[in-house]
Chains A and B, each alone.
Chain A
Amino acid sequence: MRILLLVCFLAGAGTGRAWAEPTLYEQLGGHDGLWRIVDRALTLYFTDPRLHDDFDNINRDWLQPRFFAYFCKVADGPCVYKGRSMAASHKGLHIDQARFNAVVEDLQRAMDDNFVPFRMQNRLLARLAPMERAIVTR
């Protein structure tokens, strides 16, 4: 019995994370799952009339990988985000609370469209919510 337990322990130690809880990134579907969510969210941003002025003159091919990298990092994924801070990257864009919330609502819709369970959605939003302070200029 003790030998069996030892073998199990070593096997677990070997994989390094046999008992670890999946990260939010993994629960959202890992790379492909998160990419689908970000892709859908950006499609919504670029077509949302409330956000027209914000996304009118932005290159989606430039923005999307940066969005993905940031969300990946926020969800404890294996990404390195090399972009600017939220405050620096949104400075001068005059984003108000209503437009910040429109982005949140479109993200919620993108997660709905990808069948992310409601409570899991809120776990991601909980990590993103404090960004409001940095992004919204008063």
Chain B
Amino acid sequence: MSRDKASARRRLAIRAALVTAIILPLAALDASGVVVEQLNRAFTKSQVTILKGGIIRFSNVDEFDHEVYVDSPNFNYDSYEQSPGETAVVTFTDAGSFEVRCHIHPKMHMHVDVVDH
């Protein structure tokens, strides 16, 4: 009886540790928001993983306009004209996989994986 209790407690501890190890870093990401720069007609990251409800900030460090958009069945976003120096803040409210592109520069592409809590 006590051995079952001990192993159950151990399994719980392990599970708790695993959850903390995964969730805490994601939570930390979530708190500050991921920053991705638009530089030389490209995103500085090719892939980002965030929590549902998480934020990605697109910072235009080029000297010309960009226009960030996501076009998917369950989530859409368009920054419209994004001037040099401007940051577009995108909140990913839905879980799933999304392609982030630029209306002006068709070769710009970033993949976002949004995971549930």
In the complex they form, whether A and B have CB atoms below 8 Å apart is answered with yes
Size range of the chain A interface in the assembly? 10 to 19
Q: How many A-B residue pairs have CB under 8 A?
A: 29
**Measured CA separation A93–B62 after assembly (Å):** 10
Contact, CB under 8 Å: A89 / B64: yes
User: Which residues of A does B touch, CB under 8 Å?
Assistant: 56-59, 62, 84, 89-93
Contact, CB under 8 Å: B106 / A59: yes
B73-117 residues at the A interface, CB under 8 angstroms: 84, 103-108
Q: Nearest residue in B to A59 (C-beta to C-beta)?
A: B106
Task: Select the residue from A59, A89, A93 with max chain B CB neighbours within 10 A.
Answer: A59
Interface SS of chain A: loop
Chain B residues whose CB sits within 8 angstroms of the CB of A56 once the complex forms: 107
**Measured CA separation A91–B85 after assembly (Å):** 13
B65 within 8 A of A: yes
In the A-B complex, the 5 residue pairs with the smallest Cβ-Cβ separation, listed nearest first, are A92-B63, A57-B107, A91-B63, A57-B105, A57-B41
B37-79 residues at the A interface, CB under 8 angstroms: 41, 62-65, 67
- Take A57-B41, A59-B103, A62-B103 as given contacts and tell me if A93 and B64 are in contact as well, using a CB distance cutoff of 8 Å: yes
Of A59, A89, A91, the contact of B105 (CB 8 Å cutoff) = A59
Sampled A-B contacts (27; CB under 8 Å): A56-B107, A57-B41, A57-B105, A57-B106, A57-B107, A57-B108, A58-B104, A58-B105, A58-B106, A59-B103, A59-B104, A59-B105, A59-B106, A62-B67, A62-B103, A89-B64, A89-B65, A90-B64, A91-B63, A91-B64, A91-B84, A92-B62, A92-B63, A92-B64, A92-B84, A93-B63, A93-B64
